[in-house]
Amino acid sequence: CVILDVQAACQDATVTQELLKEGFHRDLLVKVELGVVGEDAGGCAVAARTRLPPGIYVDPYELASLQQHNLTKVVLIPDVIDVEAPEYLATDLLVLLYMEPDPRCSRCFRAALPVHGRYHRPAEGSEEALVVLKSPEVLVCCCHNRLSAECWKPAEVEAPCSGKNVSPCQWYSVTYKPAYKELILQVPVGLRQHSSLVCVVTLLATVLCSSLILAAVCKYGHFS
């Protein structure tokens, strides 16, 4: 299986990505339409490699459940993720998302990945933080298609060609002009001027709940 990279002379691929749902828990939807493999791309495997900034993460436990049911195939680098870390203590995450053929289009592929926004530091005047998601790199592996040599170039990716293969193969990346260079996720954040109020309310709630628990223990508890 040989994977190929489309250079400037072969910019026929169309790539779009969008964020579905609202709030902190979203779905990243990536669509690819290949225009360099002829009318039929049935012999090709396609993947999208994207770098998630610190403000976005993938839950490895949720992902393991999805992969167990064959609902998605993803490689995470690194594969150990602190899901509790705030944005300012997190690092970038490299994601290789394997795509499935679209039954409505012989050259089209798509994949969805659940992503989550991290908590940010409180802001001064805005109630939203902006997280910028760059366009993905598209990798293609065509086993049965003969393509022009000038349209292909190796990419440095150590990963299997598909979810069924376990051994790594030579990947090649598709050059394309994205419809949008970046995608922006708006994450709700607190305001710094509300910090005193939040601290007071949190303290009062903690004292009240602790008092109710202590009262219940004293009333219904059995002490020897």
Helix (H) or strand (E) holding 68: helix 60-68
Quickly tell me which residue has 């610190």 as its tokens.
54
Distance (Å, whole) CA 92 – CA 76: 11
Give the angle subtended at the CA of 179 by the CAs of 154 and 28, to the nearest 5°. 80
DSSP, collapsed to helix, strand or coil, labels residue 8 as helix
Q: Could you list the pLDDT tens digit for every one of the 224 residues in the chain? A: 333 333 334 556 788 889 998 888 999 999 988 765 544 555 677 889 999 999 999 999 999 898 888 888 888 888 889 999 999 999 999 999 998 888 888 788 899 999 999 988 887 777 788 889 988 988 887 655 554 445 567 777 777 776 555 666 767 777 777 777 778 888 877 666 666 777 888 888 898 999 889 888 887 766 65
- The sign of the torsion formed by the CA atoms of 45, 48, 49, 52 equals negative
Res 151: pLDDT: 59
CA distance 117 to 186: 9
pTM, two decimal places: 0.74
